[in-house]
Structure 1
Amino acid sequence: MPSRREPLLVLGLVGQYPMAGVAWQAIHYLLGLHRLGWDAYYVEDSGAAPYDPRHGGRTDDPSYSVGYVADVMRRTGFDDRWAYLDLARGETYGLSRSRLDELYREAAGILNLCGATAPRSEHRQGARLLYVETDPVYEQLRIALGAESSLGFLESHDVLFTYGENLGAPDCPVPLERFTWHPTRPPVVLEQWTAPPDPGAVFFTSIASWENKGKDITFRGETYHWSKHVNFLRFLELPRHTAARFELAMDPLDPAVTARIREAGWTLVDPGSISRDIDRYRDFIRGSRGEFTVAKDIYVRPRSGWFSDRSVCYLAAGKPVVTQDTGVGKFVPTGRGLLTYTTMEEAVDALRAIEGDYLMHAAAARAIAAEHFAAEPVLGRLLADAGLG
């Protein structure tokens, strides 16, 4: 593939939320763009106060976040291609401010991953500004409800992408008003996750937050919940119905909830060390038998077609995934390696099928990642749709 030396900037949340899942999401975009021949840079310039996991809250001191971004970029070969802008203090880390300003002017495109940054004038100096929405349905419903802040945010971009591949389909009730949305999906760099098959691995695992707040939304009399715990409770009794064993890197924070989950047969491990370090996060996934997970209600009931950045890492590691059905099966083959469910019976059947031929499902998982989520074709299509192909 011919080299493209124009800069492409990825705006992300690695410092604002210094967690390995967030970091790996950005890493896959950076490495994928680099492999396509672009001069890729990571930039964090939202001005938002970062979260400090050592204290469990936001802070005005960005030192931990800056160190985290620097470490992630060093480990992945981008140690001289990142910048963290502390707007409150007027300080820039990584690249110099003059170099960052130069990149804003020279960039062919800027990928606003997760809507990390509200675009400003420095982002609009000729670059194509792409919004990559990884959490579908919420913004589309806000537009339908007439939310001016969402309207202004989306209008500030040139091209809009969403992980909600089924939005606009007859079986998805989410209206697409005023804007054109291009479907995309989470990219994964396969070589980062290669692991030998391990039929002796014991646990179906996942890494998750128990409860997310702030984005529940009501539309046409239906309230859609932006939290996984709503659906997790529906399948809390799963361990009593299957011989499969489950381990979650999750801290519900509430002792009563923790006790209830453990009593139902789930093993809980401290997510702290796993979720903060990109290598420990990867090792946890590689050491799993597979993934069992639910999805947020806001993705499931509207049949959004969403698929998880984390689950695609399991697939790339050759770990079968059992996930709640969001309509993704319309776009990615299911039944081998990737199995979806709606009911308890379907979840039990999916786990039983994997145990019936584990090595076949493990190989199929890796094949699905290679054929449907590999970073270069996924990002190649995204850039082509953005006029940057």
Structure 2
Amino acid sequence: MSAPVFVGSAFVAQYPTGGGNFWVPLQYLLGLRATGVDAYWLELLWTRGDPARDREFIEVFCRHVEGAGVAERVVLVFFPDCSRNDPPGRAEYFGMPAAELTARAHDALLLNLAASVTPPLRAGFARTALFDLDPGPFQIWAREYDLGVGSHDVYLTIGQNLGAPDSPVHVGEVAWERVWPAVHLPVWPDRSGEPGTRYTTVTQWWTNQYAFLDGETYDCNKRPGFLALIDVPRQAALELELAANIHPGETEDRALLAGHGWRLVDPEVVAGTPDAFRRYVQGSRGEFSAAKPAYVRARPGWVSDRTVCYLASGRPCVVQATGAERHLPCTAGLRFFRSPEEAVEALAAVEADYPTASRAARALAEEVFATRAVIPRILAAAGVA
């Protein structure tokens, strides 16, 4: 029997209205379990300094875990007296006693998503794999900050194009093992036989994050990426919808988008829970999305964990090129663009034969992104297959 695997995260419980975020660790947990692995999800939460808000976050997370049917496989560790950068203090455990977690970790692999689990908290695991979900910016930031590069046993990334000649990001001597983001098909039914409503995406408008390399700025905000595509709805003569957290006070941006034919909806309303996110994705006609300018500049070969959910649902995707197109089969279900003109052309190509594009989207998910394809590669790279 293989070693236990813990999927480590610290980005779900702290964002209770991020329905899409919840799916990221869940896909890997479900995929590992389906492969026969004794798998668990370890979620970490540090106090925000507001006890009532902390309890709300815990309650929402536990409710979603119950709703997903994985409560017996999830442990939440809450630190009520310290922040992430402090030495670990008093901890509260939900879903698994501390002693049991310690015992299970002794022989386990920690799949550390986005360097979520800090050094003191990963010390008890038999083996650790750093899993980079933000390729390009992550490698740049890791040169300046301690993000765990150099202190894990294995290094995984969804950046399929990192290290390629057209990617300026230095990977140094780190042996990054490249895998695709995963989607667990049994919980994403094929909707390719249904027309859907309109092209959508769920996104952050601002992250207020930047990376800097060789005098160049790598902008991690989606806003400039979408503003560069401002005329696409009119030129394509299609309804494009953004579920973006644009503050009501950002009246200029909201008016600019609306004036150019974009529909704006509140992501907390349409995709604020795991179930709502799935309904929103599956009810869409497809995905249309810009990438962060940082991904466009870095060309790391990033594909969004959101996009693979659209593909699994049989929803064609038209997304901005980041280098991933060099590593994927050419398909009508996933089209990449490098300019607004190419975006319009790609949307027109999908609409010209939507049934074929829908079937191709699901087929690509089955071939490339399904957990049954991705999980064995992760386990092999981590040395626990």
Q: CA deviation at 1:315?
A: 0.1
Q: Residue 53 of structure 1 corresponds to which residue in structure 2?
A: none
Match of 1:170 among 158, 165, 170: 165
Q: CA deviation at 1:307?
A: 0.3
1:68 aligns with 2:60: yes
Q: Is the 8 A contact 1:163 1:185 kept in 2?
A: yes
Q: Is the 8 A contact 2:130 2:152 kept in 1?
A: yes
Q: Is the 8 A contact 2:135 2:159 kept in 1?
A: yes
Q: Residue 186 of structure 2 corresponds to which residue in structure 1?
A: 191
Instruction: Work out the CA distance in 2 between the residues paired with 1:133 and 1:76.
Output: 25
The 1:68–1:106 alpha-carbon spacing in structure 2 relative to 1, beyond 3 Å, is: farther
Instruction: Work out the CA distance in 2 between the residues paired with 1:209 and 1:313.
Output: 17
Q: CA deviation at 1:156?
A: 2.0
Q: Residue 80 of structure 1 corresponds to which residue in structure 2?
A: 72
Secondary structure of the residue aligned to 1:43 is strand
The 1:148–1:198 alpha-carbon spacing in structure 2 relative to 1, beyond 3 Å, is: closer
**Aligned AA for 1:229?**
R
1:234 aligns with 2:235: no
1:280-325 per-residue CA deviation (whole Å, 9 max, x = no partner) reads 1111111111000010111111211000000000000000000000
Q: Is the 8 A contact 1:306 1:328 kept in 2?
A: yes
The 1:105–1:96 alpha-carbon spacing in structure 2 relative to 1, beyond 3 Å, is: same
**Aligned AA for 1:296?**
K
Q: Residue 271 of structure 2 corresponds to which residue in structure 1?
A: 275
Q: Residue 85 of structure 2 corresponds to which residue in structure 1?
A: none
Q: CA deviation at 1:68?
A: 2.5
The 1:365–1:106 alpha-carbon spacing in structure 2 relative to 1, beyond 3 Å, is: same
Q: Percent identity?
A: 36
Q: Residue 144 of structure 2 corresponds to which residue in structure 1?
A: 147
CA RMSD of aligned residues (A): 1.7
Q: Residue 329 of structure 1 corresponds to which residue in structure 2?
A: 325
Q: Residue 101 of structure 1 corresponds to which residue in structure 2?
A: 102
1:207 aligns with 2:205: no
The 10-residue stretch of structure 1 (301-310 or 270-279) with the greater mean CA deviation from structure 2:
270-279
Q: Residue 307 of structure 2 corresponds to which residue in structure 1?
A: 311
Q: Residue 10 of structure 1 corresponds to which residue in structure 2?
A: 7
**Aligned AA for 2:154?**
V
Instruction: Work out the CA distance in 1 between the residues paired with 2:308 and 2:50.
Output: 32
Q: CA deviation at 1:59?
A: 4.2
Q: CA deviation at 1:25?
A: 0.6
Relative CO higher for 1 or 2, CA cutoff 8 Å, sep ≥ 6? 2
Q: Is the 8 A contact 2:136 2:299 kept in 1?
A: no
Q: CA deviation at 1:177?
A: 1.3
Secondary structure of the residue aligned to 2:378 is helix
Q: CA deviation at 1:343?
A: 1.0
Instruction: Work out the CA distance in 2 between the residues paired with 1:39 and 1:133.
Output: 22
Scaled by the length of structure 2, the TM-score of the pair is 0.92
1:328-381 per-residue CA deviation (whole Å, 9 max, x = no partner) reads 111112341000000111111111111110000000000000000010221110
Secondary structure of the residue aligned to 2:46 is coil
Instruction: List runs of 5+ in structure 1 lacking aligned partners.
Output: 51-57
**Aligned AA for 1:105?**
H
Q: CA deviation at 1:126?
A: 5.0
Scaled by the length of structure 1, the TM-score of the pair is 0.91
Q: Residue 245 of structure 1 corresponds to which residue in structure 2?
A: 239
1:207-243 per-residue CA deviation (whole Å, 9 max, x = no partner) reads 11111113x1221121111111111110011112012
Q: CA deviation at 1:72?
A: 2.6
Q: CA deviation at 1:148?
A: 5.1
Instruction: Work out the CA distance in 2 between the residues paired with 1:73 and 1:7.
Output: 20
Secondary structure of the residue aligned to 2:241 is strand
